[in-house]
């Protein structure tokens, strides 16, 4: 069995499909010694060179999906690197033997709370896609008076610069004086959507905490900057919610394994014999 190279590498966590297609166009990927082109297929036993690093495609008995929960503190950005030298959400994560962690959605630098990471590009894309309607919940501290009329508008919908938006639900959860807390729920992840919805009513968000993504809630015991593996039962719930809990297809069983150049040379000599 074989699978398109850009799909395989994205699912292996090497990058987004768009990134990988760009690498192919720039000649940064070779398959079995030949420069890869869009649409090339890979299968078990193939050798890849990606950005001057060597890998081998092998078959595995099952697909090893990993999901990590992380309590993002304020001040970290959701990028792999920052030219300004700021800390990123990837800095504290454990190393993977192959592939890389993919963030499921984003939180802006001033926000904190639950971030999910996975080594499975297909799962990450499914969890973020608007058509899956995966619910996100936030605890929001708002500065200003929130009337019942404002709450109703935020539930029914307001026009933002990128179209209509609304909260699936918004509930008052406490507070003192001008600072009041609300729990909000929505099923899409547009850029800074929660903040922009409140700003449309001339209200300022002074604190924004993501407390749940799909079936996974932020544990109270998970400190800021800490991570934990997601329980297998919850991972199965995630897969079922985005309809990825079907038995693995053959191309799901392909795995990308890093190779040392010296080992690669030996295997190449063995094949020539």
- Delineate the domains of the chain, giving CATH numbers in brackets: 3-63+249-272 (3.10.290.10), 67-241 (3.30.2350.10)
**How far apart are alpha carbons 162 and 180 in whole angstroms?**
27
Q: Please give the pLDDT value at position 263.
A: 52
Instruction: With 0.75 as the threshold, say if the pTM is over it.
Output: no
pLDDT in tens, 57-81: 887 655 678 899 999 999 999 988 8
Q: Where are the alpha helices (DSSP H) in the chain?
A: 5-11, 17-25, 121-128, 148-156, 193-199, 232-241, 261-272
**How far apart are alpha carbons 159 and 15 in whole angstroms?**
33
Burial state string for 193-213 with b = 16 or more CB within 10 A and e = fewer than 16 = bbbbbbebbebebebbbbbbb
pLDDT in tens, 169-197: 999 998 887 889 999 999 988 889 999 99
Q: Could you tell me the two tokens for 196?
A: 């922009």
- Residue spans of the chain under pLDDT 70: 1, 60-63, 98, 246-253, 260-273
pLDDT in tens, 153-162: 999 999 999 9
Percent of the chain, pLDDT > 70?
89
Judge whether 108 counts as a catalytic residue: yes
Instruction: Tell me which of 108, 168, 169, 251 is the catalytic residue.
Output: 108
């Amino acid at each position: 069995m074989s699978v398109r190279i850009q799909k395989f590498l994205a699912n292996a966590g090497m990058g987004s499909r768009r990134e990988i297609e760009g690498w192919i166009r720039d000649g940064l990927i070779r398959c079995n010694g030949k420069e890869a082109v869009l649409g090339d297929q890979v299968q078990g036993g193939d050798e890849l060179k990606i950005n001057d690093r060597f890998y081998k495609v092998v078959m595995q008995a099952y697909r090893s999906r990993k999901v990590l929960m992380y309590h993002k503190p304020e001040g970290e950005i959701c990028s792999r690197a920052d030219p300004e030298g700021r800390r990123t959400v990837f800095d504290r994560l454990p190393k993977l033997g192959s592939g890389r962690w993919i963030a499921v959605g984003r939180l802006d630098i001033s926000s904190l709370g639950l971030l999910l990471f996975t080594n499975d590009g297909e799962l990450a894309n499914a969890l973020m896609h608007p058509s899956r309607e995966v619910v996100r919940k936030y605890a929001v501290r708002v500065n200003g008076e929130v009337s019942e009329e404002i709450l109703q508008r935020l539930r029914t919908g307001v026009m933002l610069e990128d179209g209509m938006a609304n909260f699936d639900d918004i509930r008052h959860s406490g507070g003192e004086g001008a600072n009041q807390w609300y729990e909000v729920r929505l099923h899409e992840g547009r850029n800074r959507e929660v903040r922009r919805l409140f700003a449309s009513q001339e209200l300022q968000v002074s604190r924004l905490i993501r407390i749940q993504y799909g079936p996974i809630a932020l544990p109270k015991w998970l400190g800021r900057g800490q991570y934990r593996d997601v329980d297998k039962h919850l991972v199965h719930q995630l897969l079922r919610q985005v309809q990825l809990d079907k038995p693995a297809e053959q191309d799901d069983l392909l795995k990308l394994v890093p190779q040392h150049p010296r080992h690669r040379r030996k295997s190449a000599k063995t094949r020539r014999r």
